[in-house]
Amino acid sequence: MKLVFIGDIFGSPGRKAIAGILPALKEEVEPDLVIANCENAAAGAGMTKKIYKEILSYGVDFLTSGNHIWNRPEIYSFISEKELKLIRPANYPKGTPGLGWSTVTTTQGKRVAILNLMGRVNLLNLNCPFIVADDAISEISAQTDHIVVDFHAETTSEKVALGWYLDGRVSAVIGTHTHVPTADGRVLPKGTAYITDAGMTGAMDSVIGLKSEPVIQRFVSGLPVKFEQSKSNPGMDYVIIELNNEGKALSIENNRRFLKGE
């Protein structure tokens, strides 16, 4: 089984990159499932139902998120809809709208579970992602051995630690949130594919999706500055993972493609 995981979609340039790059990639790779992190898909922060439908129309099968998923008020009215192919981090408190994990059936009839978790270091003080992962995996394992985890976290140490903690119990742990792809993709000893960050899908001539000049001004001056999303040089960071029938990873490869003609 082949899975494609697309790094954080940032605004309209990210959506444009998926529309222009993903169809050809799917023809080439023939993945059984395409997953993408969408928490920044609406102008760099949040998600709307219109954009949700747009992204799925480009060939994405399922969407994960993170701390910015709540930035658009309308998310509260649809994130709990039945059959929604969108989840939020599972370690939000009990009663938070939406689901923290869900299962999907691939084109080949395989059931895959996707679990979304969020780190606590330099982010919100949520429930412990390690303990929440234990509870979720205990329940998920009764349904499928194919479990993909999106760990939306700030620090590399927390991500690496969770990767080792879950090695052999899930198919993959894919880090998101920092928008910068890392070079540490590997299959851990017990069969879990791991990468600290899958990267970003959006304007690559930017500071993690934003126009560079205001960000530099903020760093230099220390004063409040209005940030704007960049639209320059759209591209897509993504990871290809191959799994065996038992849900163990055989390989992981990260890539970046640019939108031709941009």
Query: 201 and 6 in contact (C-beta within 8 Å)?
Result: yes
Q: Could you tell me how many helices (H) and strands (E) the chain has, helices first?
A: 6, 13
**3 state SS for 73-111:** CCHHHHCCCCCCCECCCCCCCCCCCCCCEEEEECCCCCE
Query: Do the bridges between strand 111-118 and strand 62-64 make them parallel or antiparallel, or are there none, so unpaired?
Result: unpaired
- Helical spans, DSSP H, in 45-84: 49-57, 75-78
CA proximity to 185, closest of 196, 177, 176: 196
Name the residues annotated as catalytic. 68
